[in-house]
Amino acid sequence: MAFCFRAYKPLYSVSPIKWDMKTIKVILILTLPVFLFSACKKDSTKKTSSATSEYYFKGSLNGKATDWEAATSQPGWAAGSSAAEVNDAGDISGGLTAELTYFPAEKPVFGIEFKTFDKSLDADANTVFNNFVKTGTWSFASTPSYPKGVKSIVIHYTDANGNEYSSIGAQSGAANVVSVTPVTGDQYNSDPGLKIKITFSCTLYPASGTGSVISISNAETTVFLENLINY
C-alpha cells in the first residue's frame, strides 16, 4: 500500500500580473499509511453584502465578518485543489480538497476536504469523481482516516502565521452542499472540475493540540474542485 499526497498551486506571470492557472504537481509517496491533509488559510475583515467572485468564502470567523474572494491577479486569493490518496494495489481511495489560497504569501489557506472516494483498479476516474460529490447533508469527519464507504468533510484552515486548524473534533450539526456544477474552466482556473456551493458552521481545532479553538458560523462558500483521482 502506498500513500500519495499531491499539492497543486496556480502560477501567474509577472507583467501584467495575471493568473496562469496551470498547476505544479508535487508527489510524495510513502511506504507507510501516514495521512496528510491540506490546510485552510486566511485572515481578512473585508465585509460585503454579496459575493463578487465565482469562488469565495463568506461568514463569521471568531465573531468577525470575513469575505475572501478569488481574484484574477495578485495579490489575491486563488482557487485550486489538492488530493490525499492511498493506492492499495491499484485501488485508489482518499480525499479531495478544494482550496482558496492567498498569493503571493501562499497563506492563509482555506480548504474543504471531501472524503472518502474509492476507485477500483478498472473503474473510470471521471465517473467516480462525478458521482462522488452530491448535494445534500455531509457530516463532519471525526477522524483523519479515510474509511471506504463513508462520506464526510473536513474544514482545513491555516492562518497568516502558519498555524493549522481543522474541524476534526466535536461538532454540532453538519454541512450542506447546496449545488454541484460541472465547469470546463473559467478566468479563475483553466482546468475542468466542479463548482461547489456549501454552507456550514463549525469549530476548528488547533493541529498542535494546544491553543484556542476557532469558531466559524453562517459560512457560505463556493469552491473549485479538480478531478485529481489517479492523476
pLDDT surpassing 50 at residue 214: yes
Report the number of distinct structural domains present in the chain.
1
Residue 63 within a domain: yes
Confidence class for position 37, pLDDT limits 50, 70, 90: very low
Confidence class for position 45, pLDDT limits 50, 70, 90: very low
Q: Domain containing 111: what range?
A: 2-226
Mean predicted confidence (pLDDT) in 171-186: 94
At residue 122, the pLDDT reads 93
Of the candidate ranges 12-21, 80-89, 113-122, 186-195, the one whose mean pLDDT is the lowest: 12-21
Measured distance CA(186)–CA(176) in Å, rounded: 25
Cell numbers representing residue 9 in the block:
498551486
Q: How many CB atoms are located within 10 Å of the residue 215 CB?
A: 14
Mean predicted confidence (pLDDT) in 34-61: 59
| C-alpha dihedral sign at 10, 106, 154, 46 | negative
The span from the first CA to the last CA of the chain, in angstroms, equals 17
At residue 231, the pLDDT reads 66
21-30 pLDDT per residue, tens: 333 233 222 2
Mean predicted confidence (pLDDT) in 200-214: 96
At residue 146, the pLDDT reads 96
At residue 23, the pLDDT reads 33
Residue 141 within a domain: yes
Residue 231 within a domain: no
The rounded percent of the chain whose pLDDT value lies above 90 is 71
Return the DSSP state at 141: P
Residues 6+ away with beta carbon under 8 Å from 81 = 8, 96, 97, 98, 99, 193, 224, 225, 226, 228
Measured distance CA(136)–CA(110) in Å, rounded: 21
pLDDT surpassing 60 at residue 166: yes
